[in-house]
Amino acid sequence: MAVCTMSYTHLPATHQPRLRRSNAAPASQQVVDNPQAETTTRKVTRWAESLSHHLHLHVEPPSSHAGGQNFTRDIWREYDEKLSSPVMSPKEDISQRWKEIQGFSDWEGLLEPLHPWLRREIVKYGEFTQATYDAFDFDSFSEYHGSWKYNKHKLFDKLGLTKHGYKTTKYIYAMSHIELPHWIERSHVADAWSRDSNWMGYVAVSDDEETRRIGRRDIVVAWRGTVVPCEWFENFQSKLEPIRKGESKVEHGFLSIYTSKSDSTRYNKSSASEQVMREVMRLVNFYKEKGEEVSLTITGHSLGGALAMLNAYEAGSTIPDLPITVISFGAPRVGNFAFKDELDKLGVKTLRIVTKQDWVPRMPGLVFNEALQVFDEITGTLEWVYTHVGTELKLDVCSSPYLKKGMNFSGIHNLETYLHLVDGYLSSKVPFRFEARRDVALVNKSSDMIVDELRIPHCWYQSANKGLVCDDHGRWVRPKREPDDVPSPTIEAHNHDLAVELQAYDVNVNGLLSCIKL
Query: Catalytic residue numbers?
Result: 302, 358, 413
- C-alpha to C-alpha distance for 261 and 121, rounded to whole angstroms: 34
Chain center to CA of 285: 26
Q: Cα-flanking dihedrals φ and ψ of residue 226, to 5°? A: -95, 160
The answer to whether 311 touches 254, Cβ cutoff 8 Å, is no
Q: How far is CA 504 from CA 124, 281, 440, 507, 514, in A?
A: 29, 14, 44, 5, 15
- C-alpha to C-alpha distance for 419 and 124, rounded to whole angstroms: 9
Angle at 54 between CA 53 and CA 59, to 5 degrees: 35
**Does residue 113 have a cis peptide bond before it, meaning omega lies within 30 degrees of 0?**
yes
First to last CA, the chain: 37
- C-alpha to C-alpha distance for 412 and 414, rounded to whole angstroms: 6
Any idea what DSSP says for residue 152? T
Beta strands in 265-323 (DSSP E): 294-301
Instruction: Enumerate residues 6+ apart whose C-beta is below 8 A from 288.
Output: 294
Beta strands in 133-197 (DSSP E): 166-174
Q: Which residue from 132, 99, 111 is spatially nearest to 300, judged by alpha carbons? A: 132
CA dihedral (449, 350, 136, 412) in degrees, to 10, reads -10
- C-alpha to C-alpha distance for 231 and 183, rounded to whole angstroms: 8
Computed over its alpha carbons, how large is the radius of gyration of the chain?
23
